[in-house]
């Protein structure tokens, strides 16, 4: 399909493009801008925006621009190209029964949603639900947008309406919509409740939540986890937020369905809610694939702050450069629903502007109860904060966090970064001949990442050598034949993993081009990185690409050996030199000599 369509034609039909050199440009359709920074490359069939980082192939553009899921985008693109989409009898050959069962569950959940929606309009007792929703300030339009429904009183309304065969009854049980008691009797899970359909990112109903209208407990009830619904993955309102916003700048995480809906009614259409669970790392990775910022909204009481700190702990490993997390604490007893109804949209947005950055909340939380004016208090603060900062991925943000902690404690940043939980080993007796280490024994071991290859190190614009190699592959995919992915087996890191996958894919499918590669990882953090690297063509040299790629791969392959060398030196360095064996001392001298030779070679001026 991608071979049959021209990305310039696909985009130009929706966004007016202008020729600029060998590429085409326009004002980006995914964010507001005055100067065009949106570029389309007709040779490699991909687009990239230097302003907001959006990028991908023709299929990805269609999905983002028209808010289509993957199958619908394929259908649309195929139709414009005069192609028919082939159909397979089952989605996956390895487990057709499960896929068929899930397909039946998706269809059933849509039926259930239609049933509850109809009951809200026609059931004799639905007026109670309508009055409740009106009392919460909701209009019929917003109820329609979120597909709200009504589960009438009674034990078997849904079962009578949809359990028309033994197979349907089994599906209703599997979906969690029917409950079986100890006597084996089946009854409706939701009774006398306002019902909230829960949709996944593709818009399919996967579960329901219900709010009781009477005095029954619990007040809120969710359907259980099933083969198509996992609470730790889904976010209520995320589908509606994506539909309402072509380009999400931020997502707001609140605690309840009514908060999401009330905010949407007041024009704040980027709120989501977890489904009775704490915010997980899975939730956050899904959010950060869609936008660069998340704001957590909690009550200002003790329980709210504890929940906020759990969210902070989940966020730390996700805080790559360019991502932001903030925390908004509402007055005690208030929630987003009540605040936005009392103060309106502008008032709530003002509160959002005052949300606390992650670093401020972290340091305030760990410093609680400490006297940070005292030396002991500042030492305690550093000890408590460091384990959290070390969870942040390597990058500028992590360095800034160390810097912020240094300012609060009075310690210099380098000292903080070297602090280890274990106490330092005792020093050897002064003046003892055997305690005199060789030259450079006290030098810090070289860090593992970013070594300079023969052509000058990770070129400007790339975070590391793996990214430089990936960029070269995107520019000229056929050079994958020159590399052996097995040589990277001992390396670690997300970018190395992506490089290995990229090499494996290209060696298995050498006909793949840049657009196909971007499509393969579309909608993932890896896909965003690939789009960014593909858009940085100006960093790729005009000649010598094959040799540059080979040099880069050779340096990457040597990193594990250099890392082991540095680790061994470090281990011996932290030993009591007076007590290590003569064999270990000889080995240390050899390793230091090898390190010196490597340093000299690396720092030699290039011709």
Residues 260-290 have pLDDT tens digits of 999 999 999 999 999 988 898 889 988 988 8
Residue 421, pLDDT above cutoff 50: no
Q: What integer pLDDT is reported at residue 49 of this predicted model?
A: 87
How far is 234 from 511, CA to CA, in rounded Å? 36
Q: What integer pLDDT is reported at residue 413 of this predicted model?
A: 75
Q: What is the CATH number of domain 370-418?
A: 1.20.50
> Cα dihedral sign for 437, 438, 443, 448?
negative
Residue 445, pLDDT above cutoff 50: no
Q: What integer pLDDT is reported at residue 559 of this predicted model?
A: 67
Higher-confidence position of 432 and 570: 570
Architecture (CATH level 2) of domain 465-603: Orthogonal Bundle (1.10)
Q: What integer pLDDT is reported at residue 238 of this predicted model?
A: 94
Q: What integer pLDDT is reported at residue 564 of this predicted model?
A: 60
- Beta bridge pairs of residue 273: 236, 254
Structural domain boundaries of the chain? 7-80, 370-418, 465-603
49-63, 126-140, 158-172, 417-431: segment of lowest average pLDDT:
417-431
Q: What is the mean pLDDT of residues 496-517?
A: 84
- Residue 100 is encoded by which pair of tokens? 């068929």
User: What angle in degrees, to the nearest 10, is found between the helix axes of 257-265 and 336-353?
Assistant: 60
Exposed e or buried b for every residue in 161-185, given b needs 16+ CB within 10 A?
Answer: ebbeeeeeeebbebbbbbeeeeeee
Is the pTM above the cut of 0.85? Answer: no
CB-side neighbour CA atoms (13 Å) of 409: 27
- Label each residue of 470-538 as H, E or C: HHHHHHCHHHHHHCCHHHHCCCCCHHHHHHHHHHHHHHHCCCCCHHHHHHHCCCCHHHHHHHHHHCCHH
Q: What integer pLDDT is reported at residue 436 of this predicted model?
A: 40
Q: What integer pLDDT is reported at residue 132 of this predicted model?
A: 93
Of the pLDDT bands very low, low, confident and very high (cuts 50, 70, 90), residue 447 is very low
Q: What integer pLDDT is reported at residue 87 of this predicted model?
A: 67
Residue 191, pLDDT above cutoff 90: yes
What is the strand order of the sheet 293-299 is part of? 271-273, 250-254, 293-299, 324-330, 356-357
Of the pLDDT bands very low, low, confident and very high (cuts 50, 70, 90), residue 512 is confident
- Model confidence pLDDT, tens digit, residues 91-148: 444 455 666 678 899 999 999 999 999 999 999 999 999 999 999 999 999 999 999 9
For strands 220-222 and 186-188, give the pairing: unpaired
Q: What integer pLDDT is reported at residue 88 of this predicted model?
A: 61
Q: What is the mean pLDDT of residues 390-419?
A: 85
How far is 119 from 195, CA to CA, in rounded Å? 10
Residue 153, pLDDT above cutoff 80: yes
Examine domains 370-418 and 465-603 and report if their fold is the same. Answer: no
Q: Tell me the average pLDDT of the chain.
A: 81
Q: What integer pLDDT is reported at residue 389 of this predicted model?
A: 92
Q: What integer pLDDT is reported at residue 286 of this predicted model?
A: 86
Q: What integer pLDDT is reported at residue 328 of this predicted model?
A: 96
57-66, 187-196, 541-550: segment of lowest average pLDDT:
541-550
How far is 267 from 590, CA to CA, in rounded Å? 68
Percent residues over pLDDT 90 in the chain: 37
Percent residues over pLDDT 70 in the chain: 79
Tell me if the domain spanning 7-80 has CATH number 3.90.580.10. Answer: yes
Residue 400, pLDDT above cutoff 50: yes
């Amino acid at each position: 399909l991608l071979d049959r369509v021209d990305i310039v034609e696909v985009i130009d039909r929706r966004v007016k493009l202008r020729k600029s050199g060998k590429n085409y440009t326009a004002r980006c359709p995914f964010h507001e801008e005055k100067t065009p920074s949106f570029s389309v490359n007709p040779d490699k069939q991909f687009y990239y925006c230097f302003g907001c980082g959006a990028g991908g192939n023709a299929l990805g553009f269609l999905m983002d621009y028209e808010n289509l899921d993957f199958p619908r985008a394929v259908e649309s693109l195929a139709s414009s190209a005069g192609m028919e989409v082939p159909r397979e009898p089952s989605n996956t050959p390895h487990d057709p029964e499960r896929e068929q069962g899930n397909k039946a569950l998706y269809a059933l959940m849509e039926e259930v949603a239609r049933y509850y929606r109809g009951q809200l309009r026609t059931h004799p007792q639905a007026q109670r639900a309508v009055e409740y929703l009106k009392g919460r300030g909701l209009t019929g339009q917003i109820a329609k947008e979120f597909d709200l429904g009504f589960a009438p009183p009674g034990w078997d309304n849904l079962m009578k309406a949809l359990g028309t065969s033994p197979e349907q009854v089994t599906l209703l049980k599997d979906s969690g919509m029917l409950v079986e008691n100890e006597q084996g009797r089946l009854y409706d899970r939701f009774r006398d409740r306002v019902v909230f359909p829960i949709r996944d990112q593709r818009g399919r109903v996967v579960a329901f939540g219900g709010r009781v209208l009477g005095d029954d407990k619990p007040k809120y009830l969710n359907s259980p986890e099933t083969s198509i619904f996992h609470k730790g993955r889904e976010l209520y309102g995320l589908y509606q937020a994506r539909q309402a916003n072509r380009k999400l700048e931020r997502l707001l995480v609140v605690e309840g369905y009514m908060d999401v809906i009330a905010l949407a009614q007041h024009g704040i259409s980027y709120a989501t809610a977890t489904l009775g669970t704490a915010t997980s790392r899975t939730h956050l990775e899904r959010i950060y694939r869609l936008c660069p910022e998340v704001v957590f909204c909690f009550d200002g009481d003790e329980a709210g702050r504890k929940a906020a700190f759990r969210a902070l702990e989940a966020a730390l490993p996700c805080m790559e450069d360019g991502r932001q997390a903030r925390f908004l604490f509402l007055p005690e007893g208030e929630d987003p629903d009540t605040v936005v109804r009392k103060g309106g949209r502008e008032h709530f947005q003002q509160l959002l502007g005052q949300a606390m950055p992650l670093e401020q909340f972290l340091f305030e939380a760990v410093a609680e109860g400490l006297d940070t004016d005292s030396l002991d208090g500042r030492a305690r603060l550093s000890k408590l904060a460091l384990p959290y900062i070390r969870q942040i991925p390597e990058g500028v943000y992590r360095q800034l966090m160390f810097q912020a902690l240094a300012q609060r404690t009075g310690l210099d940043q380098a000292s903080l970064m070297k602090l280890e939980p274990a106490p330092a080993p005792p020093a050897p007796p002064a003046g003892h001949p055997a305690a005199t280490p060789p030259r450079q024994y006290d030098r810090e071991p070289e860090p593992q990442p970013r070594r300079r290859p023969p052509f000058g190190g990770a070129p400007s614009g790339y975070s590391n050598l793996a990214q430089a190699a990936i960029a070269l592959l995107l520019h000229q995919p056929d050079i994958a034949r020159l590399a052996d992915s097995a040589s990277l087996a001992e390396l670690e890191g997300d970018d190395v993993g992506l490089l290995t996958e990229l090499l494996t894919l290209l060696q298995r499918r050498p006909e793949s081009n840049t657009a196909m590669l971007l499509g393969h990882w579309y909608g993932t953090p890896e896909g965003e990185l690939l789009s960014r690297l593909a858009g940085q063509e100006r960093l790729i040299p005009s000649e010598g690409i094959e040799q540059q790629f080979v040099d880069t791969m050779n340096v990457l392959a040597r990193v594990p050996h250099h890392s082991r060398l540095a680790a061994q030196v470090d281990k011996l360095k932290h030993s009591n030199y007076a007590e290590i064996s003569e064999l270990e001392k000889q080995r240390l001298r050899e390793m230091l000599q090898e390190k010196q030779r490597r340093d000299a070679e690396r720092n030699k001026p290039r011709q």
